[in-house]
Amino acid sequence: MRFIYVYDPLCGWCYGFTPVVQELQQRSNSDMTFDILSGGMIIGDNRHPFSHMAAFIQREHTNVEEMTGVRFGNAFLEKLLPSAEIMDSERPAVALTVFKEYQPENAISFAHDMQVALNYHGQSLNLDSTYKTLVKKFGLPEDEFINRLHDEHYRYATQQEFQLVQHWGITGYPAAILDTGKQLYLCARGFTTLERLQQTIDNIIAESNSL
């Protein structure tokens, strides 16, 4: 049984949903593995400065806070958000691809650390220095990580991941898929509470076992 979390590092609702997935992972027994895929929400011609989304995010972030319990920091809301910093999902997505080669079991935690760095501390996910700081927690070789971050091999692997998510028809984030080994089931679309997510998973497993 495999739980596949499909997210985007720049997605505010994903910022709120990742702790739910972390809690699910902590509660789960060894009969379920966890994977995380990047969807590529803002790439290519869709890239734009944060300031272009500032008015929308300023309105929407309170809804995310109220429903999920996460908090957006002043460094993000007052400094990064009004700036000309480019919103680009590719660099943090490549960083996740690189990280999964080192510690796949901690990939969801690393993804959340990237989200906290962005949404609370207002740090740029386009800068190497951000990742050098983040990987210290996991004991990874900093310079080697950065070298791989710029390696075309990992960029290509990340783009293949984007295409897989598109092939599945997932265009909104967050989302989650349960792979029973027989079939893929969409078990979350948008923010979902832990209780509702667990109930959906239980129902899918029961249905799968009856087939």
pLDDT 10s digits, 98-113 = 999 999 999 999 999 9
Sketch the domain layout of the chain as residue ranges.
2-210
pLDDT 10s digits, 40-99 = 999 999 999 999 999 999 999 999 999 999 999 999 999 999 999 999 999 999 999 999
Q: What is the pLDDT of residue 187?
A: 96
One-letter amino acid identity for 10? L
Q: 3-state class of 86 per DSSP?
A: strand
Helices (H), 45-151: 54-68, 74, 90-102, 107-119, 128-136, 142-149
Per-residue tokens: 104: 């796949």
CATH code of the region 2-210: 3.40.30.10
Do 93 and 162 form a contact (C-beta atoms < 8 A)?
Answer: yes
